[in-house]
Structure 1
Amino acid sequence: MSYELIAILMFSSMMLMLLTGQRVFAAIGFVASVSAMLLWGDGGSEIAFSAAMKLMKWYPLLTLPLFIYMGYVLSETGIADDLYRMFHVWFGPVPGGLAIGTIALMVVISAMNGLSVAGMAIGATIAMPELLRRGYDKIMVTGVIQAGSSLGILIPPSVVLVLYGIIARQPVSQLWMAGVFPGLMMAGLFILYILVRCKLRPELGPPLPKEERDIGLKEKLLLLRAGILPFLIFFFMTGLFLMGYTSLVESAAVGATAATVAALIKRRLTFSVLHSTVKKTLGISCMFMWIILAALAFGAVFDGLGAVKAIEGFFLGQLHMTRWEVLIMMQLSFILMGMFLDDTAMLVIVAPLYVPLVRALEFDLVWYGVLYTITCQIAYMTPPFGYNLFLMRAMAPPEVTLGDIYRSILPFVLVMVTALALVMAFPEIALYLPRTVYGQ
């Protein structure tokens, strides 16, 4: 049996197990272990062992539980509630203003969190009830929350970009900087769409009643205090790292500490909140570690087979595809997998194949990390099985049906595809900031 056929069998077996509902790490790890034993006998067990040791020696992996902890502290202690009140007052008079304020809230939460799940939880529990109560169209509301929450995996400190940096061996600081302008551009496109849509159809997003808009400038300025603590957390965590004062792990520790201090200042860090935060952090962190461990073993078997070279030769040599055609095909495959998997699973499954291929095609790996992340955002919300669609259904009130959720996301997906096309056509959107700061 040829190595190419073995590689195809491994990949198809793994996808088949995933479709049967097996846990991601179990499917990947099982296929990797069995393939290694069949190919190399008893010596194949060393592959999984070496992958485990490599994982334990990855010092940057400490950032994951710290970032996750920080995000859950901000969510569980209600600091996001204060931010939403501020955006509610400042943007309320504009048609669709509360929806615009929700996008702004998601940008701030993304800059402190790094996970889309936390953004979705905050939007569904804080913003959605208020928007529906104010007469906003339920389809518009669900689309806004899903689109806004997706920014969490692009705007720094993105946990997904940290994982990509670890696997692709790229500097996380440059990846974070590369995600800034595309993330803000995408948020701006969301806001522009909401403004235009609500201007044409005001009933979709009515402005605040006049009596609620009559708030003095002094009170409005006092509400800005809600943004002080989040800004300080972001500065101490990301700002010090980008300026070179802290390492990646140190910045994560600073962020977790700053979030805890902020919760103490607000007098909201109760024992029940701390217990819930630590429990959720442990669960998510262990999930990430198991998935990465399984992916490393799977990648080692693939590398041993020489599958990457075979795939490169197949696309470029036999099919005679251009490098841009190969790149577009890779992005389409991410969207297809996103119907069944989350972003972490997609990354660790295909990174052993795609990262060397991207390097061979002479594309910038930092730029490709941004493309991958945007494509994951699109895949999250692509019907019929997008990850965020069912997460939204679980958190939404009963009057919001799955059909409403499907319809709500289509215009935002088109906006995100536009953003992806812009970053592909103009790589400097992503690369200008890291190249300027690091003088490349």
Structure 2
Amino acid sequence: MSYEMIALLMFSSMMMSMLTGQRVFAAIGFVGVVAAAVLWGNGGFELGFSAGMKLMKWYPLLTLPLFIFMGYMLSESGIAEDLYKAFHVWMGGLPGGLAVGTIGLMVVISAMNGLSVAGMAIGATIALPELLKRGYDKIMVSGVIQAGSSLGILVPPSVVLVLYGMIARQPVGKLWIAGVFPGLLLAFLFVVYIVIRCKINPSLGPALPKEERNMPLVEKLKLLRAGILPFVIFFLMMGLFVMGVTSLVESSAVGALSALAAAAIKGRLNWAMWNRVLEQTLGISCMFMWIILAALCFGAVFDGLGAVKAIEHLLVDELGMSPWQILIMMQISYLIMGTFLDDTAMLVIVAPLYIPLVGKLGFDLIWYGVLYTITCQVAYMTPPFGYNLFLMRAMAPPEITLVDIYRSIVPFVAIMLVGLAIIMAFPEIATWLPAHVYVKG
């Protein structure tokens, strides 16, 4: 049997295993270890062990549990609720102003969290009831919260980019910095859409009555104090890293300690909260570590077979496709897979194939990491199995139906695809900042 056929058999076996309902890491790791044993005998059994040792010796891996801990600790501290009150007063006078404020809230939460799930929980519990009470269109606000929460996996410190960096062997700090401008670009496009839509049809997002906004400037300025604590946390975490004062791992430790201090300052730190945060952190961290381990094992077999070279030969030499055509085809395949898989599953399935091929085609792997993450954002919001769709349905009040939720994401998915096209056309949006300010950590 040719190596190409073996690689195809491995890939199809992995997909069939996942269709049985097995966990992603179990399906991928099992196929990788069995294939190694069949191909190389007893020595192949050591492939999984070698992948485990490689994972445990990967120093940046320490950032993963620390940032997950930070995200959950901040989501329990009540910072988001205080921030939303400030947005409520300062932006409520604009048509769609509270929806714009919700996007702003999501950007701030994303910069302290790195997880889409936490952003969705905060938006659905704090912003959604207020928006509905103020007469905002239920379909629009549903889309706003889903789109805003998706920024958590692009704006640093993104946990998804940590996973990509470990599998692609790229500096996580550089990936984070590369996500800053693309994340702000998407947030800006969301805001422009909301403002224009509400200007055309003010009933979709009515401005707050003057009596609710009329307060002394001194009182308004006091509300801005809610942003001091998030700014301090972000500066301590990312600012010191960018300036070269702390390394990547030290930055994650600073973020975790800052989140702990914030919870204590807010008076929310107690044993029940502490246990809840630790349980959530342990569960998510272990899940990611198993996925990375399985991906490393599967990728090692793929590399040994020379599957990447075979596929490159097929696409470039046999079919005559240009590098850009191949890249666009990859992104389309991500969009299709995203309708029934989550971001981590997509990455570990195609990482052994796509990432080396992207490098061989001459593209920047840091830039490609941003493209992958934006595609994951789209996948989070596309039916039938988009994670954000189901999270929104679980958290939304009964008057927001699943049909409403599906309708709500259409314009925001279109905006994300526009943003993806812009960053593909102008790679400097993602590559300029890390090239100028990145300090190896």
TM-score range for the pair, normalised by the shorter chain length: over 0.9
How far apart in 1 are the matches of 2:172 and 2:210?
47
User: Are 2:390 and 1:386 aligned?
Assistant: no
Identity between Structure 1 and Structure 2 (%) = 75
Equivalent residue, structure 1, for 2:204: 204
User: Are 2:89 and 1:89 aligned?
Assistant: yes
1:291-370 alignment, distance < 5 Å: 291-370=291-370
How far apart in 1 are the matches of 2:3 and 2:421?
35
Measure how far apart 1:41 and its partner are. Answer: 2.3
Q: Secondary structure, in 3 states, of the residue corresponding to 2:225?
A: helix
CA contact (8 A) 1:174 1:434 kept: yes
1:228 counterpart letter in structure 2? I
How far apart in 2 are the matches of 1:291 and 1:166?
11
CA contact (8 A) 1:77 1:273 kept: no
CA contact (8 A) 2:78 2:266 kept: no
Equivalent residue, structure 2, for 1:103: 103
Deviations 1:335-381 (A, max 9, x none): 11212222222222211111110111001111111111111111211
Q: Is there any run of 5+ residues in structure 1 with no aligned partner, and where?
A: none
CA contact (8 A) 2:177 2:438 kept: no
Deviations 1:116-173 (A, max 9, x none): 1111111111111111111111111110011001111111111111222222222222
Equivalent residue, structure 2, for 1:246: 246
1:62-211 alignment, distance < 5 Å: 62-211=62-211
Measure how far apart 1:200 and its partner are. Answer: 0.9
TM-score (norm 1): 0.97
CA contact (8 A) 2:167 2:295 kept: no
Deviations 1:216-257 (A, max 9, x none): 211110000000010000000011111111111110000000
Deviations 1:3-61 (A, max 9, x none): 11111111122122222322111111121122222222222211111111111111111
How far apart in 1 are the matches of 2:362 and 2:414?
28
Equivalent residue, structure 2, for 1:2: 2
CA contact (8 A) 1:154 1:161 kept: yes
Q: Secondary structure, in 3 states, of the residue corresponding to 1:236?
A: helix
Moved more, 249-258 or 311-320: 311-320
How far apart in 2 are the matches of 1:75 and 1:87?
18
Moved more, 8-17 or 44-53: 8-17
Q: Secondary structure, in 3 states, of the residue corresponding to 2:93?
A: coil
Measure how far apart 1:181 and its partner are. Answer: 0.9
1:205 counterpart letter in structure 2? G
User: Are 2:256 and 1:256 aligned?
Assistant: yes
Equivalent residue, structure 1, for 2:213: 213
How far apart in 2 are the matches of 1:393 and 1:38?
45
Distance 1:438 1:25, change over 3 A: closer
CA contact (8 A) 1:151 1:183 kept: yes
Deviations 1:63-102 (A, max 9, x none): 0111011011111121111111111111111111111000
2:50 counterpart letter in structure 1? S
How far apart in 2 are the matches of 1:50 and 1:3?
22
Deviations 1:169-217 (A, max 9, x none): 2222221221111110110000000001111111111111222111221
User: Are 2:26 and 1:22 aligned?
Assistant: no
User: Are 2:278 and 1:278 aligned?
Assistant: yes
Measure how far apart 1:273 and its partner are. Answer: 1.2
Q: Is there any run of 5+ residues in structure 2 with no aligned partner, and where?
A: none
CA contact (8 A) 1:339 1:387 kept: no
Equivalent residue, structure 2, for 1:395: 395
2:404 counterpart letter in structure 1? D
Deviations 1:392-426 (A, max 9, x none): 22222222211111100010001000000000111
Measure how far apart 1:391 and its partner are. Answer: 2.0
Equivalent residue, structure 2, for 1:376: 376
Measure how far apart 1:267 and its partner are. Answer: 1.1
Equivalent residue, structure 2, for 1:436: 436
Q: Secondary structure, in 3 states, of the residue corresponding to 1:93?
A: coil
How far apart in 1 are the matches of 2:293 and 2:48?
8
How far apart in 2 are the matches of 1:168 and 1:205?
43
CA contact (8 A) 1:340 1:387 kept: no
CA contact (8 A) 2:198 2:204 kept: yes
Q: Secondary structure, in 3 states, of the residue corresponding to 1:258?
A: helix
TM-score (norm 2): 0.97
Distance 1:20 1:215, change over 3 A: farther
Measure how far apart 1:438 and its partner are. Answer: 5.0
How far apart in 2 are the matches of 1:133 and 1:18?
43
How far apart in 1 are the matches of 2:305 and 2:3?
6
Equivalent residue, structure 1, for 2:60: 60
How far apart in 2 are the matches of 1:20 and 1:391?
23
CA contact (8 A) 1:335 1:379 kept: yes
How far apart in 1 are the matches of 2:227 and 2:438?
30
How far apart in 2 are the matches of 1:167 and 1:248?
17
How far apart in 2 are the matches of 1:287 and 1:341?
16
